[in-house]
Amino acid sequence: MAVMMMREAINLALHQEMERDPDLIVLGEDVVGGMGTAGGPESVGGVWRTTTGLYAKYGAERVIDTPISESAIIGAAAGAALTGQRVVAELMFADFIGVCMDQIWNQVAKFRYMFGGRTRCPLVIRMIYGAGVNAAAQHSQSPHAMLTSMPGLKVVMPSNPYDAKGLLLAAIRDDDPVIFMEHKALFGLRGEVPEEDYTIPIGHAQLVREGDDATIVATGQMVGFAARAADALAAQGIACDVLDLRSTSPLDEEAILDSVEQTGRLIVVDEGPPRCGLAGDIAGLVSSKAFMALKAPIEMVTPPHTPVPFARELERAYLPQPEQIEAAVRRALGLQGA
């Protein structure tokens, strides 16, 4: 099995699916390499290098560099998907969804409902999100909770290269709109990825660590942080379930509740803001559906309710760290020094 970076796994998925499905198109800002470039094999494939080589292989009719306009990108993608094209649109930074919010919230998310199920919208919107690379307040946000709250959208958040490829292939083949959120700090993460075709069903969480003492739920970059905390706790004789949600809509409620029923303690780790966020939503779910199983108050490990800082030291203090997750587990267990 090949070992590759997450950006390479995403690129491989796009290459394989464009070869398999001649109706698939890709569009976005600099997905070729920039307006006016030759567009040959030397094209970088965007600033994240996730679309490298697509233009050279599939040409200008299927790989389209757009103007720097999120509303144009999503508007064009939505119209193409509604009329039968299968589309992958890239937003270079998720922070700028405000520019195209009407297209996403009032159009894409509602096509199936507004037309009585007689149409489909096979559109994947790839969004690059997240903090940890010193990109400052306007390029480091995690708006997944806001997108999760919108009925009609599926929201996928891979945490590793294997999942990135399998989930992206599943998303592209889905007949409904999927927000595919790629954490910029994970693009260089390496892992084993099969070169053959495979998909991962959207809506099924992954248990990445097993233990009876506490449940840690996380997404994206926070899954790796949670796993590191669980490893440190294991050395102290504390065993934790670590649940990678993979998607926030649909949410695998059964996996969350089953784990909490077993452990009796829940720690939710989320990179998004704490107010009206994913951590609070999951805490509310467990409080209402598994309250009698809880042996301790639910712990939520999130950033403070502030913009993302630019300074390296402040950004690290802003982001939840493995040490904070470890301390939250110890608090839930009533251990001294937590």
Residues with catalytic annotation? Answer: 139
CA distances from 276 to 130, 183, 281 (A): 18, 21, 7
- The answer to whether 130 and 271 are in contact (CB under 8 A) is yes
Tokens of 115: 């037309």
H-assigned helices in 28-124: 54-58, 70-82, 101, 111-114
Strand 63-65: give its sheet, edge to edge: 63-65, 24-28, 86-91, 123-129, 178-183, 154-156, 247-249
Residues 6+ away with beta carbon under 8 Å from 245: 157, 205, 217, 218, 219, 251, 252
CA pair distance 218, 206, nearest whole angstrom? 10
User: Measured between alpha carbons, how far is residue 30 from residues 98, 100, 180, 185 in Å?
Assistant: 20, 18, 18, 20
What are residue 228's phi and psi, to 5 degrees?
A: -65, -40
User: Is residue 165 classed exposed, middle or buried when 0-12, 13-18 and 19+ CB atoms within 10 A define those classes?
Assistant: buried
**Separation CA 171–CA 149 (nearest Å):** 19
